[in-house]
C-alpha cells in the first residue's frame, strides 16, 4: 500500500478495519516512519480518500469519524458535490 500524501514507499501494517453500508475504513501504521493513516472507500458514491494523521490527531477518533476529519481538511467528497448541485437546482 502507498499512501499518496506521504510519497514514499513504506510497508504499512493494518491495525483496524471496519465496514458498514458499503463504506470501508482502515487504519494503517508504518513502522519505519511511525506514521498513521486512515483510508476510506465508499462504494455507493465512489469516494476514496486517505488521511495521514498529524501528531496531535487521535488515531481512533480519526478512524471512527473520518468524514469529519476529511471535511475539516477541505477534502471534497462526491456526496457533498451532488448535494450542492441539487440545492442549486431546487
Residue 16 lies in a domain: yes
Phi, psi torsion values for 54, nearest 5 degrees:
-80, 160
- Give the pLDDT of residue 77: 85
Q: What is the pLDDT of residues 2-31, one digit of tens each?
A: 555 556 678 999 999 999 999 999 999 999
Q: Which domain holds residue 59?
A: 12-89
- Give the pLDDT of residue 13: 97
Q: What is the pLDDT of residues 52-88, one digit of tens each?
A: 999 999 999 999 999 999 999 999 988 676 655 555 5
Q: How far apart are CA 52 and CA 27, in angstroms?
A: 10
Q: How far apart are CA 16 and CA 1, in angstroms?
A: 15
Residue 76 lies in a domain: yes
- pTM for this predicted structure: 0.78
Residue 3 lies in a domain: no
- Give the pLDDT of residue 75: 93
Amino acid at each position: 500500500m502507498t499512501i499518496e500524501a506521504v510519497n514514499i514507499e513504506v510497508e504499512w501494517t493494518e491495525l483496524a478495519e471496519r465496514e458498514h453500508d458499503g463504506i470501508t475504513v482502515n487504519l494503517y501504521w508504518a513502522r519505519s516512519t511511525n506514521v498513521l493513516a486512515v483510508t476510506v472507500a465508499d462504494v455507493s458514491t465512489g469516494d476514496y480518500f486517505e488521511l495521514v494523521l498529524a501528531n496531535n490527531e487521535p488515531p481512533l477518533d480519526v478512524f471512527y469519524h473520518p468524514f469529519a476529519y476529511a471535511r475539516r481538511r477541505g477534502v471534497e467528497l462526491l456526496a457533498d458535490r451532488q448535494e450542492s448541485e441539487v440545492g442549486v437546482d431546487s
